[in-house]
A and B are shown apart, each in its own frame.
Chain A
Amino acid sequence: MVFLTLPCWIRSRGPDRYWKVQEVLKHARHFRGRKNRCYTLAVKAVRRAFVYATQARRLKKRSMRTLWISRIAAASREHGMKYPALMHNLTKTSVQLNRHVISDLAITEPRSFLSLAKLAQARRQEGFNAALGDGKEPPGVFSRIVLLQ
């Protein structure tokens, strides 16, 4: 007699469950609690982490810009100007520096930032004189738009 039903009960499962599990767990190793050890919890946590990472790439640009703006505002207030006045007058004098560069200058090059603040202040005064004055004074130095050929 040959017993044939017993071998039919043995199933061979997939060979690489360990590596498929490790692929997910390796992204969860720095998590807190059982999410860094147990696969079922780790899958949900890793998916969330990836979603947050994707969203944060868009948000990082916004938060860096607000950081630069707050730094420039603090530095310009040290010199007696406010942020909107500084940026508007810098654009009017065609100084095409972005907020990243101006905030780096305010940190590492304080004297250059002081000169930028003074330039913006002078341009602001010329704007006031042109608007409020009689028109008899000559137009200012910084408000002349230079056309580079």
Chain B
Amino acid sequence: MSSRGTPSRFLASVLRNGLGRYVPQLKRISIVFSKNAQSSLGVRDFIEEGVVDYAKKNPGTVVYVSPQTCRIPKVVAEYLNGNVREEFVTSKTAPQISELLTKLANQSGQEIMRLRKPFHTDNPSIQGQWHPFTNRPPAIGPIRPQKQDSV
């Protein structure tokens, strides 16, 4: 995993989320599972007991529950900035799935990749960034109005 070979991004918040109001970035959660398969047992338990509470706790997120004939149950999370994240939940227990869903709800939708710097400022310099003339005294004095010699 070289740094040039893998993608990286700078730390940023989505549209200064949290500065004024905090908007949860999770737009939609679709739980795809099967009604009769062994691997979706935990998902079915979660849907029986925990999904309504989860939906009530996150009022800004739409929860879709779609039973289909599928071999692997998965959770598809879509975020406000358009990113889609799929997680496979084969053979997971209901508490594990609820933990996963709370983690997805707390994330911002940005990609999980290497952060170049762990900090970010819009105003890195307060006293003025250094340039080659910062510490040099000016060559000419202050500009004054010219002396009018009366002829």
Chain A residues within 8 Å of B, Cβ to Cβ: 27-30, 49-50, 52-53, 75, 78-79, 106-112, 114
Chain B nearest CB from A88 CB (Å) reads: 22
Which residues on B sit within 8 Å (CB–CB) of A49? Answer: 2, 5
Which residues on B sit within 8 Å (CB–CB) of A107? Answer: 125, 129-130
Given contacts A50-B2, A53-B1, A110-B135, 18 further A-B contacts (CB under 8 A): A27-B1, A27-B2, A29-B5, A30-B4, A30-B5, A49-B2, A50-B1, A52-B2, A107-B129, A107-B130, A108-B124, A108-B126, A108-B127, A108-B129, A108-B130, A109-B125, A110-B128, A110-B130
Closest to B4 in A: A30
Q: Would you give 9 A-B contacts (Cβ < 8 Å), ordered by A?
A: A49-B5, A75-B130, A78-B135, A79-B135, A108-B124, A110-B127, A110-B128, A110-B134, A111-B127
Complex: A109 Cα to B135 Cα, angstroms? 12
CB pair B124 A27 closer than 8 Å: no
B148 part of interface (Cβ distance < 8 Å): no
Chain B residues within 8 Å of A, Cβ to Cβ: 1-5, 124-130, 134-135
Q: Given A110-B127, A111-B127, are A27 and B5 neighbors across the interface (CB < 8 Å)?
A: yes
Closest to A109 in B: B127
Which residues on B sit within 8 Å (CB–CB) of A108? Answer: 124-127, 129-130
Which residues on B sit within 8 Å (CB–CB) of A112? Answer: 127
Which residues on A sit within 8 Å (CB–CB) of B128? Answer: 110
Complex: A18 Cα to B9 Cα, angstroms? 30
Which residues on A sit within 8 Å (CB–CB) of B124? Answer: 108
Closest to B132 in A: A78
Which residues on A sit within 8 Å (CB–CB) of B135? Answer: 78-79, 110, 114
Chain A nearest CB from B104 CB (Å) reads: 26
Which residues on B sit within 8 Å (CB–CB) of A79? Answer: 135
Interface centre among A53, A75, A114, by most chain B C-beta atoms within 10 angstroms, is A53
Which residues on B sit within 8 Å (CB–CB) of A30? Answer: 4-5
Chain A nearest CB from B122 CB (Å) reads: 13
